[in-house]
Structure 1
Amino acid sequence: MTTPSEPRIAPLAPPYPEELGALLKKMTPPDAPEILALFRVLAINPALADRSMPWGGYLLGRKASLPLRDREIVILRVCTRCGAEYEWGVHWAAFAQAAGLGEREREAIVSAVADLEVLAPRDRLLLQMVDALHDKADVDDALWQSLSAHWTPPQLIELLMLAGWYHAISYVCNAARVPLETWAARWGQAR
């Protein structure tokens, strides 16, 4: 699970044409250290990038129905299962601590062999859901019943869509060989 260093689709580089610069500025969070390489790859298809922003913004924003912790557990596990070091590293560095994930918890989330008992039962359910979706593109009845005891139907839909969105983002990161951010975490820091 490593990202080759040579991009298949190189991120756009400045200077940007005015419209593209405005799009990239709109895509970049105000506190980001720079325009993310992923955004500069997505902006190669400006219409797609522009239309994906509201969805990605909803999933990561305040209007989402999921707490930060739930969201980040799902994202980190999806990226781990997909081998998407780029997106995993960005979220690990930017959100894991704010989500209240300690080192033991984070290790369990990114490891296929770690003892999941260090996680709260609710957190384990999220990992089981991601693993089931990744392996079978479905959730069995017993797991669904357990999930339904903790999340409302609107939140369950959001969890499924969140996992699917980050699966798609992982495809882009991996297949395009998006170069890793210098400030983001690396696999070895958690394994």
Structure 2
Amino acid sequence: MTPLAATDNRAPRIQPLEAPYPEPTADLLARMNPPGRPEILALFRVLAINPELAERTLDLGRYLLGRKAAIDLHDREVVITRVCARCGAEYEWGVHIAAFGDAAGLSATDRRVMASATEDLELLAPRDRLLVRLVDQLHDTSHVDDELWQAMCTHWSPPQLIELMMLAGWYHAVSYVCNGARVPLEKWAARW
């Protein structure tokens, strides 16, 4: 597989916080971390260095990934993994593939194609190709052309389209933090 962007394997620029955490930080990290995951994710331990900002991100993250989201798990994970791949954020791509890939129904082919600069997008299901095209156009141009928009409208409602674009933008921002801070890869996460 040829990843869309290379991973920076140098030392972290911002070291994730280490336990024991002071009480306000421990509470914040507990609320940020996915239920059932015993260790606090490195990304959250980096974000908690700025606790006010980390606190403000909780609501948006919960909405975009939670039960009230307008987009189903499969579509969300197609968007998230493609955004992370386009941004070269192996950390976040790997966490999502490992944690949600199976539940989202992403096949080995889906995973390979969405993370690759050279794989044929025709190997994806038609709806998934639309989502990948959406991510790619937003990434490359910050716009969506009329032809793609009309195709998207046949599958997703206006509220869902807004959510898809917000999701892509949110994970672009997450990718910036992962890459800029050089968040260390999780041992259990997938790799390119």
Q: TM-score scaled by structure 2?
A: 0.95
For residues 30-86 of structure 1, give each alpha carbon's deviation from its aligned partner in whole angstroms, at most 9, with x where no partner exists.
211310000000000000001101100111111001010000000000000000010
- Counterparts in 2 of 1:170-185, with a 5 A limit? 170-185=175-190
> Which stretches of structure 1, 4 residues or more, deviate above 2 A after TM superposition?
none
Q: CA deviation at 1:112?
A: 1.6
1:129 deviates by 0.4
2:172 corresponds in structure 1 to 167
1:11 — aligned with what? Answer: 16
Q: What stretches of structure 1 of length at least 5 have no aligned partner?
A: none
In structure 2, distance between residues paired with 1:164 and 1:81: 12
Gaps of 5+ in 2: 1-5
Residue 186 of structure 1 corresponds to 191
Corresponding residue of 1:27: 32
Give the counterpart of 1:115 among 106, 115, 120: 120
- Determine the C-alpha separation between the residues in 1 that align with 2:20 and 2:110: 42
Q: Does 1:131 pair with 2:139?
A: no
Q: Cα distance, 1:2 vs. partner?
A: 1.4
- Percent pairwise identity: 67
- Structure 2 residue aligned with 1:157: 162
Please give the residue correspondences for 1:4-153 in structure 2 after superposition, counting only pairs within 5 Å: 4-153=9-158
Q: Which amino acid aligns with 2:189?
A: A
CA RMSD of aligned residues (A): 0.8
Q: Which residue matches 2:3?
A: none
How far apart are 1:120 and its partner, in Å?
1.2
CA–CA separation in structure 1 for the residues paired with 2:122 and 2:7 = 28
CA distance in 2, matches of 1:121, 1:29: 31
Residue by residue over 1:147-184, the C-alpha shift from the partner in whole angstroms, topping out at 9 and shown as x without a partner, is: 11110000000000000000000000000000000100
Take 2:27 and 2:111, find their aligned partners in 1: how far apart are those partners? 36
Spell out, residue by residue over 1:118-140, the C-alpha distance to the aligned partner (whole angstroms, 9 max, x if none).
21111100000000000000000
